[in-house]
A and B are shown apart, each in its own frame.
Chain A
Amino acid sequence: MSIIQLYAQWVREGKLKVNSDWNKDLKVKFTVQDPCQLVRKSLGDPVAEDLRYVVKAVVGEENFVDMTPNRSNNYCCGGGGGFLQSGLPEARREYGKLKFEQIMATGATYAITPCHNCHAQIHDLSEHFEGHYHTVHLWTMICLAMGILGPNERTYLGEDLAELLMPETREAEE
């Protein structure tokens, strides 16, 4: 099973006390990539709904912008099927241009990618085509929204969120 289903369940049950208040005034916009393997090829639109439920709970419904098309009808980003390892980077980026334009059209500054291949590809597309959006894992945003995202766990956040809701740390004991 997918942990996305459990995230949604745990948020509904109140076990994960996420909150989008941090983004009320910031209004940072997020979009989400529906991974082909997770949505179209495995669990279908219900898991795409779980994904959106969690994302909206974490960033605020008004700060979520969907891509078009989406869910089971979403375009593959070009990171799947081994494309990242196939030694065909030019074709891979040409393939990904559609995804890049789709993300840019949302106006979002963050793309949440709950799949490793999507994350690597969408991150690369932003750098290659100079899209200036950030690419983050879902776990990063869930922990940020609970105020428990540690200082070493913020690699993929942009400057705007890099210091936000930083939890307390202490020196390691020798």
Chain B
Amino acid sequence: MTAASDTGRVGLVVVSHSDMLANGVAELAGQMAPEVAVLPVGGTEEGGLGTDYGSVVEALADADSGAGVVVLYDLGSAKMTAEMAVESADDPSRYSVVDAPLVEGAVAAAVAAQGGASLADVAAAAEGASGETPVAAPSRPALHLVPDAVSAEVLLTNEVGLHARPAALLARTVAELDADVVVRYGDEEANAASVLALMGLSAPGGKTITVIATGKDAGEAVRRIEELAERGFDD
């Protein structure tokens, strides 16, 4: 739970009926995004189950570094409390209450925010995270067929392979560059911008993935991913 002050990144507020649940989700999402303020708000003032309007209002302000805040919620009344808090803010447009699965949405939003994405893009990342394995849809154009694509076979030298933290590192590396990157493992492809899609590949340590990049920084993207893998994802 980093303080929001001058990180310049979109912040996250996790509103749950349960203090433990809010904290757990914030811990999980925060692990993927060390420089993003992920603030949990859970339970009533007396420590019971419920949502406390005043605490949500405070968390919105605390999580806002200037780039805005994405708000995730667990059940119906948490949504209503969040929406009221946003409506009562001086500038409601700085806050976005998203309809997303709480855990997957928080993780996807945190990684997008860590990569410096805008409020709208962080919100979209959360909303795009479904409970299903988010491997790239087949309708997506196959990037490896694009003529100027740069690709490389990359050996996963670390023990856990493309697990949560390495996947987050890879997604962050790509997010900084002007490149569209696809990672292929076996028959499946994942958009490298999506940490959940990368994790969905279930590529274990000792195996080889194929990285295919297009765009202005395609070469740089592939080079950085190779470096990352050579370092064993700093595990």
A and B found bound together: no
Please give the residue numbers on chain A whose beta carbons come within 8 Å of chain B beta carbons, in ascending order: none
B: residues with CB less than 8 A from A are none
